[in-house]
Structure 1
Amino acid sequence: MNNSMTYGNLALKSYNTHPSFQVIDGNSRSFNHVSVSAQKAPVANARSKAGLFFVVVIAVIALSFTFFTSAASQRAFDTASANVSRAVISVQSGDTLWDIAEEHPVSHLSTSDTVALIRSWNGLNSSELSIGMDLLVPASFQ
């Protein structure tokens, strides 16, 4: 008796040394075997490149906006520092630099920038004030 038949799972053994998933086009008479990894790799690669491009464009726009905004703010501060008339006030009990800056606003400067201007003019390293201290402040024309 000749036993040339293979029994069990050995009949299903794959001899392909590089296994890959194959898509078979069942509509044609000759089967075209196309690797799925060969189809999807360019699509995934194109999507990741498009996503990276989008992130880079957004970053460039944000950096440009930040640069131009800070440059405009610095120009306004420099102009005010050089051109705004000054007055001398004496610090009263309860005064803060913020309150003084709000009472002596400068056109095109925020209150925070006006505080920085007053600190700059008076050589203050902090916002600490002493009663009776004389401060140079922007002159108010109200």
Structure 2
Amino acid sequence: VSFNYISLISGPSNTSDIRGERVIGMYGAKEVVVILVDDWRTKAFKEDTIYKEFLKCIGCRTCNFTCTASRAFGNIYASKYGLGADGIIRAYIHDGIEAAVKDGLFFCTGCENCLHWCPVSVNLAEVLKSIKKEAIGAGLCPPPLKEYQQKILKEKNPFK
């Protein structure tokens, strides 16, 4: 699934009349109405969900081009909804935490390249971090990370 539409409407139209006074809605819309068509967007808008940040995404895919995990793992770090972090988040939204883990949730390094290059400042790394916490709480941590975690908890040193 890919985006085909980007809207950069900032609000009702405005202009200045002959005296330089600002007039709102003279030539265009007097108001702007936002209609959220798909279920997850409506849910994210109404509730304080971890993926509310994801509502700002315009689908430019800059995050995929700058992502270290996408470069390292390519199409392995993807879901049926798309490549990279945004694909993993969509898998989580539509199919649940197990799908996100299966599709590569833990490949994200948290480097925040996606945030630094995103034109609308969507922090995908932070969203994925929240989903990772949920996955760990549900016991869905990958075996190598479980082993690493046990070494830290037992030995206070991951390298012993």
TM score, norm. by length of structure 2: 0.23
State the structure with more CA Rg. Answer: 1
Higher relative strand content = 1
TM score, norm. by length of structure 1: 0.25
Larger RCO, structures 1/2 (Cα 8 Å, 6+ apart): 1
